[in-house]
Amino acid sequence: MAGRIPEALADACADVSEAGPGDAVAGVAPRFVARPAGVTEAAAVLAAASSLGMTAVPRGSGTRLAWGAPPVGCDLVVDTSRMNQVLEHAAGDLVVRVQAGVGLDQLASVLAEAGQRLALDPPAAAPRPGPPQGVTLTAPAHGTTLPGPPKGATLSGPPHGAALPVPSNGSGAGTIGGVLATGAAGPLRLRYGTPRDLAIGITVVRADGTVASSGGKVVKNVAGYDLGKLFAGSYGTLGLIVEAAFRLHPLPAATSFVTLDAAGPDEARAAVAAAAGSPLAPSAVELDRPARGQPFRVGVLLEGDAEGVAERTARMAELLGSCSAAPDPPGWWRGGAAAGADGTLIRVAFWAAELARVLGAIDAAAAAAGIDPAIGGSAAAGVLYAAVAEGAPASAVARFVADLRAEVGSGNGSLPGAPAQPGSAVVLHAPAEVRAAVDLWGPVPGLGLMRAIKDQFDPQHMMAPGRFAGGI
Amino acid sequence: MTAQATRGTAGAPRQTKGAGEVAGAAIDDLVPQMIDICGRRDVLTDPAELATYECDGLTSHRCSPGLVVLPTTAEQVAAIVAVCARAKIPFVARGSGTGLSGGALPRADGVLIVTSKMRRVIAIDQESRRAIVEPGVTNLAVSKAAEPFGLFYAPDPSSQVVCSIGGNVAENSGGAHCLKNGFTVHHVTGLEVVTPDGELVWLGDGTGAAPGYDLVGAFIGSEGTLGIATKIIVKLTRIPEAVTTLLAAFRTMGAGGAAVSAIIGSGILPAAIEMMDALAIEAAEAAVACRYPEGAGAVLIVELDGPADDVRRETEAVRAICEKDGAYEIRAAHDAAERTAIWTGRKSAFAAVGRISPAYIVQDGVVPRTALPEVLDRIAELSAASGVRVANVFHAGDGNLHPLVLFDDAKPGAEEAAEEVSGAILDLCISHGGSITGEHGVGADKSKYMPKMFGPGDLDTMQLLRCAFDPAGLCNPGKIFPTPRLCGEVPGVRREPHPLVAAGKVDQF
């Protein structure tokens, strides 16, 4: 079988194999899989692919490989699993430099030894995890009494770094390269942003094998264009991410999750706005509702030293009224709608003040389409996910997306100067029949410029062709 | 390098390469069209008026623009750029002109588009924590407009009283407090821009999660080379409940540096950590009588903000760390007046150096924070060996150095010696894994250093972005990149599936 591997490809990389059924990308079967061990091999692989006229799709651990449209060409999968080295952890500088194939969980355990973390917590995709990882807690000396039931929650837990669950590379939250390429982010986005906000340097390989770096390993740096911003969320369409450097943060000594139920959209909005607008520096304000008819669950994450977290927990509880608090995340944290791996997953982005209207719009569109999506996400940051179960008819999902898009895209009418489309509904992944029935991306501001960028970086459209907005 | 002369100019002003030849006729032909767009009053052609715009905050680079226009609307900016694009006349955007790298250096053969008349705060959305502003609005004006809502705009460059948001977007401006809060790029979620061919488009949608490539992130910090922002959607941040500013005096820079490392190592993330050496303190005392503790070899300013109880505990912790590392006097400011007293010396440091030296160069470089002690030693060695005095002011928390290289412009050869030291400091930054600019930008000033920090593949790839936005190379040409890339036609763009794939003949490789 090895004889069928083109010579140029075999020469470029020590680990090239023929693809198997498990290597399909969104249903498209590649011919070969190359696993370069580092920048040099990765560059040689793409140069060889380019010379052979082969289209290539980057792959990390595959956590979010189903996101985006199926590639219109996928001759070669470039797998980053052998690029799994933490190259440099400068703890004193709060900076880490890693290869793209490093798992988020693997990295978290390395950083935790120094009491640090990369503040990215994308939803852990299916199979649905047990207790969420990477959040460990220390105890304040005393319990915290809260006004709401259940009363008297006590914050407790092991000291940080002591008992982190350490899954093997690739499980759970995915790889650095994959998280960057998809721009995936979780609850912490409210305070720390998304991968583009934390990346301070990046090395990529262009479709023709050219290696390029921008940024560096210092947090403050404005020399040259920031390619990291461009590649974050680019779905592999501009090239292969091979290395990246990130700004780190101290691992909080203690965490507290203040949760409450809100009966409807207006109550949910009020709770979210109160928490996010408070001076209590929440790290996350999340919302979750598994099915229509149930209340919205609102969760607020407070982080810091034990004493401060206990004080702020009490104050947050006072602010929000009837609520409860615990040092561990509620079961739905990072695991609700956003983690839905089957069926259709839609990301809705909006201005936070529009929360109640958006929740109402989701319900109205769902009712009209006869479906009941789970809803959840970073409400205070203006990002929600709607997960439609796998069995829902494609036409119903398509109608839901169209209605939702019309509503979300037309908001903010009263705000002068705002863009005509101040929100979006993007289908992240969907079953084939749904993909055939909907435009996954909807209207995209600046699409003409995006096409021009693609044409410059990848003139032959060899990198993950067709996966991205506008058929890019 | 920012050569500032406090008496006359520092040497002969340099004309930027390519800016010397005056297109004359071609520029004059545009005047009637520009008057049609902006009105006669907002089109400047008088050489004396043009000369007002010959430089930005980097006064050593000067060039009178061919023409100056002062639009008041986004549509006017688009029309102006469209005229330039049709005539193939280069154009440069300028905000308040406070940039320190010559990013807004005009061209004699080009049009300077000044956004200072576009200064409306258009809307504030309290619950979404967003403001929509025009590019000419000053940085501080955004925070002032947001204050009644309990919000502020976090990036705070030292020039925030005058610098414009449009300029901040171009330069990805930071400020003393970006240690905790990040830079402009972390606080902008949407941009209405005029592309270099004169089209008015939105990049992003204000949510911070718009679909497609992150064009907002790509545009911010591109130093005016990808287009002109005409509306900016900024994130607003909750005004912290408490702010405490500590001033700690140390006998030596080493002791101060150790305290910085210990503070960061303790897990505390202050809003700002600033440091000044003895020479910088001396200058500040001479200029603004800031009354820092006597005999200080280094002063550290640490600002903590957040929930009141957290700030109180962190203040105690920082105080203890400073004492342990040898601080012999610590002052704490708890209100705005006391805080201002502490910050006065730091904020006036650049200008204050004029009190102790006839002329000076403001350098801007970055090293990993842990390399600070070694790099400062090396700077001291450079200074001792060359006889050129260097005052050090820096954002210690993020390793961003602002060495002030002093010289006497009346003395032959002094400026050259100073420039040599200044350049050697950048070499030190690069060799320690840092950057040639942390916040002032590359502009016209540092493009020659870009090949020291980036390889040909890096620079070539960055310029692909430029080619996508501005294939004709008319938008602020000559900045950032030492050698412009010829964009040319994109060869054989193919949007269909690979023919072999489409035909199912994937065996034929």
CATH number for the domain including A440? 3.30.70
A13 belongs to a structural domain: yes
- Cβ pair B453:A223 closer than 8 A: yes
Give the C-alpha distances (Å, rounded to integers) separating A318 from A146, A156, A322, B306. 8, 21, 8, 18
Give the domain ranges of chain B: 2-114, 121-238, 242-431
- In chain B, the residue whose alpha carbon lies closest to the alpha carbon of A207 is B461
Do A239 and A109 lie in a common domain?
Answer: yes
Do A90 and A78 lie in a common domain?
Answer: no
- Cβ pair B464:A277 closer than 8 A: no
- In chain B, the residue whose alpha carbon lies closest to the alpha carbon of A454 is B468
Do A72 and A102 lie in a common domain?
Answer: no
Residue A154 has pLDDT above 70, yes or no: no
Domain C-terminal end among A191, A217, A250:
A250
- In chain B, the residue whose alpha carbon lies closest to the alpha carbon of A184 is B209
Instruction: Please say whether the structural domain B121-238 has been given the CATH code 3.30.465.10.
Output: yes
Distance CA A368, CA B56 (A): 58
Tokens 């692919």 belong to residue: A49
pLDDT tens digits, one per residue of B422-455: 999 999 999 999 999 999 999 999 999 999 999 9
Residue A112: domain span? 86-144+171-250
Instruction: Give the mean model confidence (pLDDT) for residues B207-213.
Output: 96
Q: What is the pLDDT of residue A412?
A: 61
Go through B343-367 and write b for each residue having 16 or more CB atoms within 10 A of its CB, e for each that does not. bbbbbbbbbbbbebbbbbbbbbbbb
Do A66 and A180 lie in a common domain?
Answer: no
Do A175 and A226 lie in a common domain?
Answer: yes
Tokens 């390889």 belong to residue: B455
Nearest to B117, CA basis, from B138, B100, B102: B138
CATH number corresponding to B242-431: 3.40.462.10
B128 touches A at CB < 8 Å: yes
Mean pLDDT (chain A) is: 89
- Cβ pair B468:A445 closer than 8 A: no
- Cβ pair B215:A446 closer than 8 A: yes
What is the count of structural domains for chain A?
3
Say which of A193, A214, A445 has its CB closest to residue B203.
A445
B260 within 8 A of B397, measured Cβ to Cβ: yes
Residue A130 has pLDDT above 60, yes or no: no
**Which residues 347-386 of B are in CB contact (within 8 Å) with A?**
366-370
- In chain A, the residue whose alpha carbon lies closest to the alpha carbon of B462 is A225
> Using CB atoms within 10 A of its CB, is residue B273 exposed (0-12), middle (13-18) or buried (19+)?
buried
Domain C-terminal end among A56, A82, A108:
A82
Contacts with A219 from chain B: Cβ below 8 Å: 398-399
Domain C-terminal end among A250, A281, A309:
A250
Kindly state the DSSP code that residue A28 receives in the 8-state scheme.
Answer: B
Nearest to A77, CA basis, from A144, A130, A150, A28: A28
Q: What is the pLDDT of residue B501?
A: 41
Q: What is the pLDDT of residue B21?
A: 44
- Cβ pair B231:A445 closer than 8 A: no
- In chain A, the residue whose alpha carbon lies closest to the alpha carbon of B453 is A223
Q: What is the pLDDT of residue B20?
A: 41
Distance CA A466, CA B211 (A): 15
Distance CA A230, CA B214 (A): 6
Residue B299 has pLDDT above 70, yes or no: yes
Residue A153 has pLDDT above 90, yes or no: no
Instruction: Give the mean model confidence (pLDDT) for residues A50-67.
Output: 96
- Split at pLDDT 50, 70, 90, the class of B158 is confident
Distance CA A1, CA A24 (A): 19
Q: Tokens standing for B492?
A: 């054989």
What's the alpha-carbon Rg for chain B, to the nearest Å? Answer: 24
pTM recorded for the entire structure:
0.92
Instruction: Give the mean model confidence (pLDDT) for residues B122-140.
Output: 97
Residue A16 has pLDDT above 80, yes or no: yes
**Which residues 461-500 of B are in CB contact (within 8 Å) with A?**
461-462, 464-469, 480, 487, 490-498, 500
A162 belongs to a structural domain: no
**Least confident span in A125-129, A260-264, B205-209:** A125-129
Tell me, what CATH number does A73's domain have?
3.30.43.10
Residue B1 has pLDDT above 60, yes or no: no
Instruction: Give the mean model confidence (pLDDT) for residues A62-74.
Output: 94
Give the C-alpha distances (Å, rounded to integers) separating B407 from A136, A297, B283, B291, B387. 55, 64, 14, 26, 10
Q: Tokens standing for A48?
A: 């060889």
- Cβ pair B238:A277 closer than 8 A: yes
Residue B16 has pLDDT above 80, yes or no: no
Mutate to test the interface with A, among B203, B464, B486 (most CBs of A within 10 A): B464
Go through A439-448 and write b for each residue having 16 or more CB atoms within 10 A of its CB, e for each that does not. bbbbbbbbbe
Instruction: Give the mean model confidence (pLDDT) for residues A14-30.
Output: 95
Residue B509 has pLDDT above 80, yes or no: no
Q: What is the pLDDT of residue B489?
A: 55
Mean pLDDT (chain B) is: 90
- Split at pLDDT 50, 70, 90, the class of A173 is confident
pLDDT tens digits, one per residue of B41-85: 999 999 999 999 999 999 889 999 999 999 999 999 999 999 999
Do A96 and A66 lie in a common domain?
Answer: no
Mind telling me how many Å the CA of A14 is from chain B's nearest CA?
Answer: 19
Distance CA B346, CA A107 (A): 38
A166 belongs to a structural domain: no
Do A105 and A53 lie in a common domain?
Answer: no
Do A347 and A435 lie in a common domain?
Answer: yes
Mutate to test the interface with B, among A16, A111, A219 (most CBs of B within 10 A): A219
A279 belongs to a structural domain: no
Q: What is the pLDDT of residue B462?
A: 97
CATH number corresponding to B2-114: 3.30.43.10
Q: What is the pLDDT of residue B311?
A: 96
Say which of B218, B493, B497 has its CB closest to residue A72.
B497
**Which residues 445-464 of B are in CB contact (within 8 Å) with A?**
446, 450, 453-455, 457-462, 464
Contacts with B398 from chain A: Cβ below 8 Å: 218-220
Instruction: Give the mean model confidence (pLDDT) for residues A58-76.
Output: 95
Do A415 and A348 lie in a common domain?
Answer: yes
Residue B15 has pLDDT above 80, yes or no: no
Distance CA A349, CA B169 (A): 23
Whole-number percent of chain B with pLDDT over 70: 91
Residue A146 has pLDDT above 80, yes or no: no
Laid out side by side, the sheet with B121-125 consists of: B121-125, B130-133, B228-235, B188-194, B200-204
Do A382 and A394 lie in a common domain?
Answer: yes
Contacts with A43 from chain B: Cβ below 8 Å: none
Nearest to A90, CA basis, from A62, A66, A111: A111
